Chain A
Amino acid sequence: MLLDPQFLVIQVLNGLQLSALLFLLAVGLSVVFGLMNFINLAHGTLYMLGAYFAVAVAGAFDSFWAALVLAPLGVAVVGAVAHVTLFRRLQSAGPMKQVLVTFGLIFVGFDVVRIVWGRLPHTVPTPETLAGSVQILGETYPTYRLFIIGVGLAVLVALHLGLDRTRLGAVVRAGVDDRTMVAALGINVELVFFAVFCLGCWLAGLAGVVAAPVFSVFPGMDMSVLILALIVVVLGGPGSLWGAALGALVIGMADTFGQVMFPAFASVTIYALMAAILLFKPGGLVPVRPSH
């Protein structure tokens, strides 16, 4: 089965598609974690909100592209409000408080979408230009799924250039490395963190929008994806862009192939991998800080 090239190509593409979504989700979580040591369990909820905003916008304007532009912005606004009202106070609090508050927000988010959009699943139609399929080695593959992979790659390149070539990027890299030093140089670290946090929310929202036409949109869609995103963050190493990309690739592939070939062990293996990394390589595969 593995040697069949058609099967292999299709599964690799499926794996890449999941990797792209996980990357969009995890990169914000990872940088926020690396910069501020802040764990946001409600990050999956932002992804779900992105998908629901896409349902609303796509319904109102009858256009997927409008949703692609507006819905992530809406999620970023929600994130900004949450940051100003709640998360800012939690930055100096211990990890337990962060976990508990953001855990509470998962419940709030779950019920808010149920009240607004009801408990039944919604769908977002695939945009017409991408609704077709392409022939790959004699197999038909939906174009839209290739689009998801493309979005993931585009974001990776854009973030790499942003981190590597811009002043803000330099500040962010320095902040992950040594936050106190950056503050001592007269840079408003809080403001930089806020900007990065909002960007992370925007990306989680983007992941929700692009996922919406493929997966159905329902309350609770955030749960499974949140844990996968956390695994990606731990695996790649908190605060690392390429770590998040590598982690997403590993988990996306492992999950896709695992589900096909060893359904009984796939998820157990992924969690075991996360535990092993935490124990033996707590900086992740691409550590940002020098290990102590």
Chain B
Amino acid sequence: MRRDPLQIPTVVLLVLAMAAWWHGADFYVHEVLLSEIALFAMLAMSLDLLVGYAGMVSLGHAAFLGIGAYVTAGLTVFLGWPVALAMPASALVAGLAALVVGSFVVRLGGVFFIMITLAIGQMVYAYFLKAREFGADDGMSGIPRLDLSFLGLDTADPAVFSAVLLLAALAVYLLLRVVVRSPYGATLVAIHQNEGRVRALGCPVHRYKLGAYVLAAAIAGLAGSLTTQHSSFVSPDLAFWTVSGEVLIMVILGGGGSIVGAAIGACAFLVLKHWLSAGESWEALGLPTFMADHWQLVMGSLFVLVVLVAADGIYGRARRLLRRDGPQAG
């Protein structure tokens, strides 16, 4: 197993930072920033299981976000299901979809895996874009939020709901942590490093990869359910391939193969995005405020730079700096 002495302090620090931020936050930060961070952190962490551990670079993860969102929307709006039931159903349906798709695609490697996940993701997007029963390109609205009144909590309050989302992200982290530290997680890493050898040892490699694909999809489905509850709205855009690309960027930005790195990546990405798209930040730098409209230019250049010069991401870089006195990391 890889030793990672930085993991626990980082998580504790991140949790404390989020708690402090949540405590002192205003309406906007609760409603937009913290909620988005929690939702995308869940997505990015689940994608990290695929990218950083199993070595499966998916460019279609948003498809499962979309499926989860539409399942919750459909069940609550059309059938009147309580949200508490629709949420596990969303994860289940996303997981089942991944089971069907995955039993074909996990055989492919490298660039073909990227292309096929892109194709399947776009297929889901194209379906929702045209599906009249789900509002086609208009999407659906009026999705309720989880009812926590039996705890005396009102989830319509952004402060309460953002706390729910952050706790859900923490739960996802703990779950994934257990998975990657188990023998199963170790096998995934081994498959990533040398698939042929693991197969020669008698391990059903495809089944292991399929398991990771299904688990990651189920988490994405849960994140989709929470996303649609958060915005009370769902549209096909959730499943568009650029969303998958952005989540992949978050994983790489934070540092793949550590789970917590993906959460840091989601934080960094969204904080930067909101900061760059606010005119005041540019004014503070003494630059023209119209640049706020062009945050994508800065973000895009940053992606290129990160991938080229710091491919191990924020967390990976921190880990390497810490190890400098120890034996050379290989």
Chain A interface residues (CB < 8 Å from chain B): 37, 39, 86, 89, 94-97, 99-101, 103-112, 114-115, 223, 227, 230-231, 234, 263-265, 267-268, 270-272, 274-275, 278-279, 282
Q: Is there a chain A Cβ closer than 8 Å to B186's Cβ?
A: no
Q: What A residues does B189 contact at CB under 8 A? A: none
Closest B residue to A227 using CB positions? B122
Q: What A residues does B300 contact at CB under 8 A? A: 104-111
Could you tell me the distance in whole angstroms from the C-beta of B100 to the nearest C-beta in chain A? 12
Asked, given contacts A39-B114, A103-B249, A267-B129, whether A274 binds B119 with beta carbons under 8 Å apart, the answer is yes
List 22 interface pairs A-B (beta carbons < 8 Å), by A numbering.
A95-B57, A95-B111, A96-B51, A97-B308, A100-B245, A100-B252, A101-B303, A101-B308, A103-B242, A104-B303, A105-B304, A108-B297, A109-B300, A115-B294, A227-B118, A265-B130, A268-B126, A271-B120, A274-B116, A278-B112, A279-B107, A282-B112
The interface residues of chain B, by DSSP majority, are classed as: helix
**Number of A-B residue pairs with CB-CB distance less than 8 Å in the complex they form:** 123
Contact check, A39 vs B131: say whether CB atoms are below 8 A apart. no
Q: Mark B77-112, 1 if CB is under 8 A from A, else 0.
A: 000000000000000000000000000110110111
Task: Please tell me the size bucket of the interface on B.
Answer: 35 or more
Contact check, B303 vs A227: say whether CB atoms are below 8 A apart. no
Contact check, A100 vs B307: say whether CB atoms are below 8 A apart. yes
Contact check, B308 vs A264: say whether CB atoms are below 8 A apart. no
Could you tell me the distance in whole angstroms from the C-beta of A257 to the nearest C-beta in chain B? 16
Closest A residue to B291 using CB positions? A115
Q: Mark B33-65, 1 if CB is under 8 A from A, else 0.
A: 000000000000000000100000101000000
How distant is the Cα of A39 from the Cα of B115 in the complex, in angstroms?
10
Closest B residue to A219 using CB positions? B296
How distant is the Cα of A39 from the Cα of B245 in the complex, in angstroms?
14
- Closest 7 pairs between A and B when the two form their complex, measured CB to CB: A107-B300, A104-B303, A111-B297, A267-B126, A271-B123, A108-B300, A95-B111
Q: What A residues does B108 contact at CB under 8 A? A: 278-279, 282
Q: Is there a chain A Cβ closer than 8 Å to B275's Cβ?
A: no
Q: What A residues does B307 contact at CB under 8 A? A: 97, 100-101, 104
Contact check, A230 vs B311: say whether CB atoms are below 8 A apart. no
How distant is the Cα of A198 from the Cα of B74 in the complex, in angstroms?
49
Q: What B residues does A95 contact at CB under 8 A? A: 57, 110-111, 114
Q: What B residues does A267 contact at CB under 8 A? A: 122, 126, 129-130
How distant is the Cα of A234 from the Cα of B114 in the complex, in angstroms?
12
How distant is the Cα of A116 from the Cα of B94 in the complex, in angstroms?
42
Could you tell me the distance in whole angstroms from the C-beta of B223 to the nearest C-beta in chain A? 21
Asked, given contacts A107-B300, A275-B123, whether A100 binds B130 with beta carbons under 8 Å apart, the answer is no
Q: Give the most central of A97, A101, A111, A272: most B CB within 10 Å.
A: A111
Q: What B residues does A99 contact at CB under 8 A? A: 57, 59, 114, 245, 248
Could you tell me the distance in whole angstroms from the C-beta of B108 to the nearest C-beta in chain A? 7
Closest A residue to B111 using CB positions? A95
Could you tell me the distance in whole angstroms from the C-beta of B195 to the nearest C-beta in chain A? 14
Q: What B residues does A115 contact at CB under 8 A? A: 294, 297
Q: Is there a chain A Cβ closer than 8 Å to B241's Cβ?
A: yes
Q: Is there a chain A Cβ closer than 8 Å to B184's Cβ?
A: no
How distant is the Cα of A111 from the Cα of B294 in the complex, in angstroms?
6
Asked, given contacts A96-B57, A104-B307, A275-B116, whether A114 binds B127 with beta carbons under 8 Å apart, the answer is no
Contact check, A268 vs B308: say whether CB atoms are below 8 A apart. no
Known: A107-B300, A275-B116, A279-B116. 12 other contacts (CB 8 A): A89-B308, A94-B110, A96-B114, A96-B248, A104-B304, A106-B300, A108-B304, A230-B115, A234-B119, A267-B122, A270-B126, A282-B112
Q: What B residues does A270 contact at CB under 8 A? A: 126
Q: Is there a chain A Cβ closer than 8 Å to B149's Cβ?
A: no
Q: Is there a chain A Cβ closer than 8 Å to B328's Cβ?
A: no
Could you tell me the distance in whole angstroms from the C-beta of A282 to the nearest C-beta in chain B? 6
Closest A residue to B294 using CB positions? A111
Contact check, A110 vs B105: say whether CB atoms are below 8 A apart. no
Q: Mark B284-320, 1 if CB is under 8 A from A, else 0.
A: 0000000001101101111110011001000000000
Could you tell me the distance in whole angstroms from the C-beta of A46 to the nearest C-beta in chain B? 15
Could you tell me the distance in whole angstroms from the C-beta of B248 to the nearest C-beta in chain A? 7
Closest A residue to B304 using CB positions? A104
Q: Give the most central of B51, B107, B110, B308: most A CB within 10 Å.
A: B308
Q: Is there a chain A Cβ closer than 8 Å to B132's Cβ?
A: yes
